[in-house]
Amino acid sequence: MKKTLLNFIMVWILLVALVVPAPLSAQRHRPGKKPGTERPEGNRPNGGNRPPHGNKPQHRPGNERPAPPRKPDRHPGPSRPARPPHPNHPSRPPRPGVHHRPPRPVPPRPAPPRGYRPYMPAPAISSVFGIAFGTLFNSVLNYLEGNNYIVDGYADNVIYVADVIELGYNWPYATLYCDAAGRLASAQYVYLSSYDNSSRYGSLYRRLCSTYGPPVSQVRRGAGYEVVWYGGSGRGYVSLEYVLEGADYCTILSFSN
């Protein structure tokens, strides 16, 4: 009888345990976590939502790094002065003791005679000393000095050069002429002799004829001559003169644009 009653009580306790739910804390307990570390959702401030970013303190005392000191502005040094433009060459008269003829006008370009036909193989005459006609005075002077020509002097758009070679002959005196605008227009080579040196003139005449063809103009001036040839396609002209001036026989070769 007692054993039967005891069994009945144990069955009743088991039924009660199955019907009555476990406490909330027991339901939320997760394995691996210590009891009591869970915080009910209802106890979180602001309903469990994070405060907005603006409410979060931006500066934590003790953790703020001081900003690096600002570098002082570098004061620029004095600006480099601009290079002055190339100055014009001042006039320089020829060296004392160097004999130069007064500037002699280059013969003007003659009109072609009736029936004249250009000599097709003739080269154009567009430069002298390797300098193109139309080059400015300063550039002409710089070129001559930079290429070791002997510049005796210069003034009034005229440059005097000594001891140059042209057409296979040495010319003690040469003169380069620039026009009123300061642009190279012609060059003149002069050879002086105290005796009649017409052989030099004759050799130059034959060479010019072989290069430029028959002369465009041939004029006899007293005891001398003046002969002119056109360059190829009518570009430029060259003249050859042989004259007696005072006690000197002069052979004069000129190239012009």
18 φ/ψ sector (left φ>0, alpha ψ -120 to 50, else beta): alpha
Q: What does pTM read for this prediction?
A: 0.62
Domain coverage including residue 173: 130-256
Looking at the predicted structure, is the pLDDT value of residue 103 above 90?
Answer: no
Looking at the predicted structure, is the pLDDT value of residue 10 above 90?
Answer: no
Looking at the predicted structure, is the pLDDT value of residue 96 above 50?
Answer: no
**Minimum mean pLDDT among 58-72, 161-175, 233-247: which range?**
58-72
Looking at the predicted structure, is the pLDDT value of residue 219 above 70?
Answer: yes
Q: How many angstroms separate the CA atoms of 253 and 242, rounded?
A: 9
Looking at the predicted structure, is the pLDDT value of residue 194 above 60?
Answer: yes
Assigned domain for 146 exists: yes
Assigned domain for 116 exists: no
Looking at the predicted structure, is the pLDDT value of residue 126 above 90?
Answer: yes
Assigned domain for 17 exists: no
pLDDT of residue 9: 74
Assigned domain for 52 exists: no
Looking at the predicted structure, is the pLDDT value of residue 99 above 70?
Answer: no
Number of domains observed in the structure of the chain = 1
pLDDT of residue 110: 87
Averaged pLDDT of the chain = 77
Looking at the predicted structure, is the pLDDT value of residue 121 above 70?
Answer: yes
H helix and E strand count, the chain: 4, 10
Q: What percent of the chain has pLDDT over 90?
A: 49
Closest CA to 250 of 223, 212, 211, 214: 223
Strand order across the 158-166 sheet? 150-155, 158-166, 169-178, 184-193, 248-256, 237-245, 224-230, 217-221
Assigned domain for 27 exists: no
pLDDT, average across residues 15-40: 51
pLDDT of residue 117: 87
pLDDT of residue 152: 92
**In contact, 80 and 142? CB cutoff 8 Å:** no
Assigned domain for 138 exists: yes
Assigned domain for 144 exists: yes
Task: Give the end-to-end CA distance of the chain in Å, rounded to a whole number.
Answer: 155
Q: How many angstroms separate the CA atoms of 220 and 157, rounded?
A: 30
Query: Hey, which of 56-60, 69-73, 112-116, 138-142 has the most confident mean pLDDT?
Result: 138-142
Closest CA to 246 of 76, 139, 99: 99
Looking at the predicted structure, is the pLDDT value of residue 83 above 50?
Answer: no
Given pLDDT bands bounded at 50, 70 and 90, which one contains residue 102? low
Assigned domain for 242 exists: yes
Given pLDDT bands bounded at 50, 70 and 90, which one contains residue 17? low
